[in-house]
Amino acid sequence: MSKHSVIRLKPKAEARAIRHGFPWVFANELVTDRRTRALPAGSFARLEDADGRALGLVTVNPASKIIARMMDRDPDAEITCDWLAARISRALELRTRLYDAPFYRLAHAEADGLPGVVIDRFGDAAVIQPNAAWADAQFALLAQALQQVTGVSIIVKNASGRSRALEGLDEETGLYCGALNGAVPVQMNGATYMADLLGGQKTGLFFDQRDNHAFAARLAGGARVLDVFSHVGGFALAALAQGAASALAVDSSAPALELAQQGASFSGLDDRFQTRQGDAFGVMEALAAEGAQFDLVVCDPPAFAPSKPALDKGLRAYERVARLAAPLVAPGGYLGLCSCSHAADLNSFRNASARGIGRAGRRGQLIHTGFGGADHPQLPQLAESGYLKAVFFRLD
């Protein structure tokens, strides 16, 4: 008999979806009696359907709308260091097939069988985001398994972000083990990026945009490039590495642009690279007033629609980005627009982008749609995991 507590779905809950791979149980689907509500956040339980048939081992957080997350289809599984190491090893096997160097998203939450856990690897260092209560409670074990499988000696616990707040967790980010001496250089797409693992956005670098950087760089030979919401120079540095004539990186963060400048210098590209700090909308308006034109413009803003209540406002913001960016594209040039909003599906985002281009008096053809790379796998049952969208247009 399992030593785990038992929790049970309500009679009208859709047990079949869970049997077919859906990884979450929402609070309104579960019998939440006093015993269930008393379970500690991050504890494990045996999930059963309304008829008492086992569905698997889940982790429980009574304080979250996602009250249970599937850990293992075996209801008697034990979450040990060996269990975690097996999941990380499976994730590592895919990444080592994909990439020659150890710089990638190593674990992408539910899709890699580690609910709520994001691990980005930077050579000998790794950043863990424990975005679910179980991972926060088992962080030491998770770090031990990660070191056992990969041999990394530096681990950062990144406890920031909206997901942790929804789980009722704190936001304390810090160095868990090892030592960091400044930003970490990361080679991607022929350029070197500088990742601040402790003080940067998210885990320090957006590995999810790697393939989109590469596509944009294919358009950049001899081009004048504008990279808006540039962070540490994502699109700009990749474009320069592939022969762009010049690149201007725009961001509101001075520290991010300083890292971009360091990356350009490290890559030997600083003679063609410039930065401009300021609000992206204001800078685009100012560039238009100056009569500036570019052969390739890419905008990669933060998530304007992180949740369904923010969707309408977020789509208007994406439309505005397109409306301000389109006039900056020279005739026959290219415009790339990105969204990392979970709530905005591809069709809605693409339509908002097209409206903005039309409102700017421009017309064009959609030439490419991009997504996160293969180190950001998705569960087909979980649309939210496919958050990143990028659409590229050629404008008349």
Could you please report the per-residue DSSP string of 67-112?
A: EEEEEESSTT----HHHHHHHHHHHHHHHHHH-SSSEEEEEEGGGG
CA 150 centroid distance within chain: 22
What pLDDT is recorded for position 384?
A: 58
Between vectors from CA 236 to CA 258 and to CA 192, what angle results, nearest 5°?
65
Beta-sheet pairing, 364-370 with 224-228: unpaired
Which DSSP helix (H) or strand (E) runs through 1?
none
Give the span between the Cα atoms of 320 and 303, in whole angstroms: 14
CB 371 within 8 Å of CB 390: yes
Active site residues per annotation: 340
Phi and psi, residue 208, nearest 5°: -65, -20
Q: Determine the pLDDT at residue 294.
A: 98
Mention every residue, 6+ apart, whose C-beta is less than 8 A from residue 31: 7, 8, 9, 10
Side chain identity at residue 193, one-letter code: Y
Residue 308, class by beta-carbon neighbours within 10 Å (0-12 exposed, 13-18 middle, 19+ buried)?
exposed
Neighbours of 42 (CB within 10 A): 19
Low-confidence ranges of the chain (pLDDT < 70): 1-2, 383-385
State pLDDT tens for residues 324-380. 999 999 999 999 999 999 889 999 999 999 999 999 999 999 999 999 999 999 998
Query: What is the model's pLDDT at position 178?
Result: 97
What pLDDT, on the 0 to 100 scale, is given for residue 1? Answer: 45
Termini Cα distance of the chain: 69
Contact of 30 with 70, CB cutoff 8 Å: no
The confidence score (pLDDT) of residue 382 equals 81
pLDDT at 204: 87
